[in-house]
Amino acid sequence: MGQTLSKLNPLSATAPEPPASTTAPAGPAPFTFPSGPCLSDNAGVATASPSGPINIGKKRSADNASLSAPTTAKRPRTNTSADPVFYIQMVRQNEQAAKSMQKLLDTYRKDPDRIWIIDFGFMSTSGTSPVPFQVSICTMNDNDIITAPINYKMSVSQLSDTILPHTFKPANRHLRKYGNRRLQQTLQKTYGVHHSTFGSTISEVHGQVAAKFTDDIVLVHWGGPELELFTRIMTGSDHPIAPKVSARYPGVDACVIARAGMNRGMTGESNALEDIHRVIFGQGAMQFHTARDDVTATKDILRYFISQCR
């Protein structure tokens, strides 16, 4: 918790100490990602264990010296998988990730309850809004806003019959069969052996969320159409099939932060939530079955990156 970014940044490790100043500091410096080597190349050795976060192994001193030397010439964009300096430059240029992380840090230091992690279990449809089956919203302070399956006040078979015509165009028989299989798997995962849907209706979810939501809340999600689904929840429409809506609430994509912080954007490695969670915390760290599981995993990853910056 006491680490500083200079300790994590091999480029700044050899920089001379700035001259002492008699004026008071203006405030914390803008956030920049620690420029550690890419986990997939030979710039360092990355190890992960269930008991702790990633540790980046040390490189040979000659290589460290070359990394810390100033570079004025523009580096070519060829053979990037073997060019750690190019990755470092790309991370620094990822303004979206840096701005998102700075926003999270500022909000976290003021009030962690202002950060809401949101996740939905849903089924994508053709031409309509995705159909939510599960919702989980929790703050960074572990205060649960709501976690519940969505109750459509109908049997599971009726819900399936209502959604299936909207999964894929009826003319495509193979896609329709695939959509039906995915739909049945999602319904089974959500409602189990129950014959009817249960939980909270969308209007009930809207009531609980709207009672606590304010404009200064920072919504955090992991990719996907979560902001569109959050917007749909805030409309309060209880029918499973609803017109497509545009996301009306700004949010922070935690996947973008993780990709930048771990240099995974150009390596061909998986950016799936469960894969990045296992890289940081070790194999078998947790199981992923519900929206609440995804919220917990996203929270773990954000706390890991926040701990590197405080």
Residue that has been written with the tokens 């199981």 in this structure: 287
Model confidence at 6: pLDDT above 70: no
Name the β-bridge partners of 136: 119, 147
Model confidence at 15: pLDDT above 70: no
Give me the helix-helix angle, 226-235 and 202-210, nearest 10°.
100
Per-residue confidence (pLDDT) for residue 172, from 0 to 100: 59
What's the pLDDT tens digit per position in 39-92? 333 333 333 333 343 333 333 333 333 333 344 444 434 333 434 444 444 445
Name the β-bridge partners of 135: 120, 148
Model confidence at 25: pLDDT above 60: no
Mean pLDDT of the chain: 74
Band the pLDDT of 166: cuts 50, 70, 90.
Answer: confident
Per-residue confidence (pLDDT) for residue 45, from 0 to 100: 31
- In terms of Cα–Cα distance, which of 275, 234, 242 is closest to 135? 234
Instruction: For the full predicted model, state whether its pTM sits above 0.95.
Output: no
What's the pLDDT tens digit per position in 219-230? 999 988 999 999
User: What span, in angstroms and rounded, lies between the C-alpha atoms of 101 and 243?
Assistant: 33
Contact 87, 37 (CB under 8 A): yes
Model confidence at 153: pLDDT above 80: yes
What's the pLDDT tens digit per position in 167-186? 766 555 666 676 788 888 88
